[in-house]
A and B are shown apart, each in its own frame.
Chain A
Amino acid sequence: MARVIVITSGKGGVGKTTTSASFSSGLALRGFKTAVIDFDVGLRNLDLIMGCERRVVYDLVNVINGEANLSQALIKDKHCENLFILPASQTRDKDALSEEGVEKVLKELFHMGFEYVVCDSPAGIERGAVMALTFADEAIVVSNPEVSSVRDSDRILGILQSKSRRAVEGREPVKEHLLITRYSPKRVEEGEMLSYKDVQELLRVPLIGVIPESDDVLQASNQGTPAIHLKDSDVATAYQDVVARFLDEDRPLRFVSYEKPGILKRLFGGK
């Protein structure tokens, strides 16, 4: 049974697109036929992060309007065999998304044999964000360890409970997961940042992972490579853990405690 997963947050710049790219890549690496859809109509970032911006011909809005068929618009990922990207339109605005149109695209993806469809939500709580979450079976709510981000995540959880199809039709509610990104155990230790436990207590949603703050993320997006593919990177490991937990595997939390650098490290430097 195909599942639709929305990656959402309310607030912008917290790591939704980075997470969408890595999470969908992770599912594809596990052998699942996966599609990732950019709902950020008008801004279009996912194709950059996935490194396929030069191959975009048709987009989501073209498919919804019947100007292109789905197989023409889907872009095959360069890293994973099973992953396809449906980019957002750069030139339209969010009103171009209709509920019927999105539903039609999702149904067609299921017919094509996709097992997971990951919806990369735009920031905010406007039409684009609501369209991205309307058909979700599960939601990964991305939050930074910071009060305004947590508040916005809370708001989007409320919208999920009232506007998703599952809620409107009174079916079993959307399964919620909390993902904390840009986490710095050092700053938590120093009292400058909320701890992951604080965030979880505020939101009361099961934690699916903690992604450490790292320069690797910036580097990966500049290269157009989803961070999960990076070699020897904590971020990549953390995203692999997220995918594993999503698939009901047991993984202990990593990268959440701070070890003071020893005397040698302090003398001789190093990261």
Chain B
Amino acid sequence: MADASQGKLIEFKGASLAVMTAYVRETDAVRLADAMHMMMGGMPDFFAGEPVVLDFSQLASTPDWVDWTAITSLLRRYQVQPIGVRDLPEHLHEGARRANLALLGKEGLGAERPIATPQPAPVPQPEPVAAPAPVPEAPPPAEAQPASSGVAPTLIVERPLRSGQQIYAKGGDLVLLAGMSPGSEIIADGSIHVYGPLRGRALAGARGDTSARIFSTNFGPELVSIAGVYRTFERGIPPNAAGRAAQVRLIGSGNQHTLEIIPLQNDY
């Protein structure tokens, strides 16, 4: 396998990069220039070409129009390299795109697409067609649906997860359509939905989201955790939930969080 990859002149791989964020609260280039001058006056090369994502979530007021050329050239004067924007009001997207700025999801780089899959997503094989007539191609069913910007993506896994396998849904929910085996591990920044047996370790809200939940149609995990609050089942799964449809959620507030396991009412 090593030989094969050496032959490639370009290779694309998912990566998580730490990148500086600039919270832009004003889009008027002149006022921004003043502010930058006040802040950076004596050190025009402080940033030394550092890449920066412009975050507009703290915008004081929403402008109708933004002079992207002015803003980017202002930043470049201070050797800041703007690479993308996030949390930008929808009507400003087109302008940012034209200024060659990437539109990023809420979570930043890479959040637009799922990062981790245990195996390369199977490429749907086109059905052999006997007739030479052109057949309109259906869009290939994607394993993970890239969500529209701003909405966290959901990672969907269609095959059973086996002992020793691990999967991480970065920034969003994880849906398992064929269940998981003992000794496997699933992690999601959002909620976890398992249609089928939940048998290994399930960790939802991995980045601290206390509202994340875990659902399964056949509950029987080795460990569950939400936002770091975990529980093992050495003395067995609660009998009212074992092998049945159940959910796990976090109750309480502040530092007083406890996990609650409740059977789902629409049990079948």
- Asked if A158 and B121 sit within 8 Å, CB to CB, the answer is no
A245 at the interface (CB under 8 A from B): no
- Asked if B163 and A173 sit within 8 Å, CB to CB, the answer is no
Q: Which residues of A contact B162 (CB under 8 A)?
A: 154-155, 157-158, 161
- Asked if B120 and A158 sit within 8 Å, CB to CB, the answer is no
Query: How distant is the Cα of A170 from the Cα of B124 in the complex, in angstroms?
Result: 9
Q: Given A99-B1, A168-B1, does the pair A158, B122 have CB atoms closer than 8 Å?
A: no
B42 at the interface (CB under 8 A from A): no
Q: Shortest beta-carbon distance, A28 to chain B, in Å? A: 30
A172 at the interface (CB under 8 A from B): yes
Query: How distant is the Cα of A170 from the Cα of B178 in the complex, in angstroms?
Result: 19
Q: Which residues of A contact B163 (CB under 8 A)?
A: 151, 154-155, 158
Q: Which residues of A contact B120 (CB under 8 A)?
A: 167-170
Mark interface residues in A156-181 (1 if CB within 8 Å of B CB, else 0): 01110110000111111100000000
- Asked if B119 and A204 sit within 8 Å, CB to CB, the answer is no
Q: Which residues of A contact B119 (CB under 8 A)?
A: 161-162, 167
B160 at the interface (CB under 8 A from A): yes
A202 at the interface (CB under 8 A from B): yes
Q: Which residues of A contact B125 (CB under 8 A)?
A: 171-172
Q: Which of B122, B123, B163, B182 has the most CB atoms of chain A within a 10 A radius of its CB?
A: B163
Query: How distant is the Cα of A167 from the Cα of B164 in the complex, in angstroms?
Result: 16
B79 at the interface (CB under 8 A from A): no
- Asked if B164 and A171 sit within 8 Å, CB to CB, the answer is no
Query: How distant is the Cα of A173 from the Cα of B196 in the complex, in angstroms?
Result: 21
- Asked if A173 and B182 sit within 8 Å, CB to CB, the answer is no
Q: Given A155-B162, A168-B1, A173-B159, does the pair A162, B181 have CB atoms closer than 8 Å?
A: no
Q: Which residues of B contact A159 (CB under 8 A)?
A: 164
B132 at the interface (CB under 8 A from A): no
Chain B: interface secondary structure? loop
Query: How distant is the Cα of A106 from the Cα of B182 in the complex, in angstroms?
Result: 35
Mark interface residues in A167-204 (1 if CB within 8 Å of B CB, else 0): 11111110000000000000000000000000000111
B128 at the interface (CB under 8 A from A): no
Query: How distant is the Cα of A204 from the Cα of B199 in the complex, in angstroms?
Result: 13
- Asked if B122 and A154 sit within 8 Å, CB to CB, the answer is no
- Number of chain A residues close to chain B: CB under 8 A: 19
B118 at the interface (CB under 8 A from A): yes
Q: Which of A154, A167, A171 contacts B182 (CB 8 A)?
A: A154
Q: Shortest beta-carbon distance, A226 to chain B, in Å? A: 30
- Asked if A158 and B164 sit within 8 Å, CB to CB, the answer is yes
| Chain B, Cβ-Cβ closest to A10 | B163
- Asked if B123 and A171 sit within 8 Å, CB to CB, the answer is yes
- Asked if B118 and A162 sit within 8 Å, CB to CB, the answer is yes
Q: Which residues of B contact A155 (CB under 8 A)?
A: 162-164, 183
Query: How distant is the Cα of A123 from the Cα of B125 in the complex, in angstroms?
Result: 33
Q: Which of chain B's residues 108-144 have a Cβ closer than 8 Å to chain A? A: 118-123, 125
Query: How distant is the Cα of A186 from the Cα of B181 in the complex, in angstroms?
Result: 28
Mark interface residues in B173-192 (1 if CB within 8 Å of A CB, else 0): 00000110111100000000
Query: How distant is the Cα of A202 from the Cα of B184 in the complex, in angstroms?
Result: 13
B72 at the interface (CB under 8 A from A): no
- Asked if A170 and B165 sit within 8 Å, CB to CB, the answer is no
Q: Which of A154, A161, A202, A204 contacts B118 (CB 8 A)?
A: A161
Q: Which of chain A's residues 132-159 have a Cβ closer than 8 Å to chain B? A: 151, 154-155, 157-159
Query: How distant is the Cα of A157 from the Cα of B161 in the complex, in angstroms?
Result: 9
Mark interface residues in B81-123 (1 if CB within 8 Å of A CB, else 0): 0000000000000000000000000000000000000111111
| Chain A, Cβ-Cβ closest to B183 | A151
- Asked if B160 and A204 sit within 8 Å, CB to CB, the answer is yes
Q: Which of chain A's residues 99-136 have a Cβ closer than 8 Å to chain B? A: 99
Q: Given A161-B119, A167-B119, A170-B122, does the pair A204, B183 have CB atoms closer than 8 Å?
A: no
| Chain A, Cβ-Cβ closest to B118 | A162
- Asked if A204 and B179 sit within 8 Å, CB to CB, the answer is yes
- Asked if A151 and B182 sit within 8 Å, CB to CB, the answer is yes
Query: How distant is the Cα of A204 from the Cα of B176 in the complex, in angstroms?
Result: 14
Q: Which residues of B contact A (CB under 8 A)?
A: 1, 118-123, 125, 159-165, 178-179, 181-184, 196
* 27 A–B pairs (Cβ distance < 8 Å), ordered by A: A151-B163, A154-B163, A154-B183, A155-B163, A155-B183, A157-B162, A158-B118, A158-B163, A158-B164, A158-B165, A159-B164, A161-B118, A161-B165, A162-B118, A162-B165, A167-B119, A167-B120, A168-B1, A168-B120, A170-B121, A171-B122, A171-B125, A173-B159, A202-B181, A203-B181, A204-B160, A204-B196
A-B pairs, top 7 by smallest CB distance, nearest first, are A158-B162, A154-B163, A155-B163, A170-B120, A170-B123, A154-B181, A158-B165
Q: Which residues of A contact B (CB under 8 A)?
A: 99, 151, 154-155, 157-159, 161-162, 167-173, 202-204
Given contacts A154-B162, A161-B165, A167-B120, 13 further A-B contacts (CB under 8 A): A151-B182, A154-B181, A155-B163, A155-B164, A158-B163, A162-B165, A168-B1, A168-B120, A170-B120, A171-B122, A171-B125, A172-B125, A204-B160
